[in-house]
Amino acid sequence: MKTAKICLIMLIPLYFINCKPSTESLKLMNEAKETFGVIPAAMPGAENDSAERVELGKTLYFDKALSVDDTISCNSCHNLENSGNGTDNAMVSTGVDGQKGGRNSPTVLNAGFHVAQFWDGRAADLKEQAKGPILNPIEMGMPDANAVIAKVKTNKKYLGLFKKAFPDAEESITYDNLAEAIAAFERTLITKDRFDDFINGNARALTPDEQTGLTHFMEKGCSSCHNGNLIGGNSYRKLGLANEYTTTDVGRFEVTKATEDKFVFKVPSLRNIANTGPYFHDGSIKTLEDAVKKMGWHQLDLKLSDEETSKIVLFLKALSAK
């Protein structure tokens, strides 16, 4: 018994030593916070959102009646049901009449923090983005905004919901207000993960292997594009900057018509990236490991080893919402 007590006493200092974050972890934590920053508590524009407007937006988001044949809702391509990650996990999405879209659907989670919406940045904000798919002939297929509003007005529940959401409007049910309500709901879709805990002061929130992955991510140059509090989503880059990436999609050039924007796309946010595959604008990359290796080669002219790749992937998995 005396020996057991002595052993227990000897273990106590070792326990506290092991629980204390290393100098390297604390240094990495501070570097990461400086490089990426923390996600704000609210998205731009949320200061004007009311509970009634958010509730209306949520109802509209899940309503298939906004499509021409009552088969597609916003949620069809940006799934939030059953802890969905804001995307459909398909190479490209399926719209009305089984038509296939041309690009992979990005997640709606945290989207309101992005510099712009869509892969090519053609919509300035969530409100403008919300107007697009409803009228897109491949996606939801409604012929025009007037047809959308006429259809919405046939549902009596919307009469009260719009009035409560826009009490000062002379005409509350408008296409502009419909998009604003959907945007209000989407502005609530903010996620938190263990990386947030890490940069907010908990140096033990990431495992040693995940911290190694974060170190690789920063030192190899991944953070030169994937930076800011969303770890991306705040800039545009040419796909195939170092080594050509074969694609017929000219990206942002379709919006700007500027030669320098050929094959340029918005840098995706890496928040929740482990759960939002397949990857890239064309949805051609099935695994996160393959995506990391291809980005290393096409963007940084690096051939990442299997070990480096696996550690980076472990870090990226720590960016999944709690």
In this structure, what DSSP letter does residue 39 have?
Answer: P
Whose CA is closest to 50, among 161, 150, 159?
Answer: 161
Q: Which tokens go with 248?
A: 């017929």
What φ, ψ does residue 285 adopt, rounded to 5°?
-105, 120
**Residue 185 near residue 57 (C-beta atoms within 8 A):** yes
The whole-angstrom separation of Cα 32 and Cα 84 is 28
Reply yes or no on whether 186 is catalytic: no
Identify residue 104 by its one-letter amino acid code: N
Whose CA is closest to 228, among 271, 184, 292, 281?
Answer: 271
What φ, ψ does residue 100 adopt, rounded to 5°?
-100, 135
**Catalytic position from the list 139, 180, 186, 308:** 139
Rounded to 10 deg, the angle between the 126-135 and 175-186 helix axes is 120
**Kind plus residue range of the DSSP H or E element containing 316:** helix 306-317
What 3-state DSSP class applies to 251?
strand
Whose CA is closest to 91, among 218, 301, 316, 278?
Answer: 278
What φ, ψ does residue 241 adopt, rounded to 5°?
-65, -40
Identify residue 98 by its one-letter amino acid code: G
Query: Which sequence positions are flagged as catalytic?
Result: 139
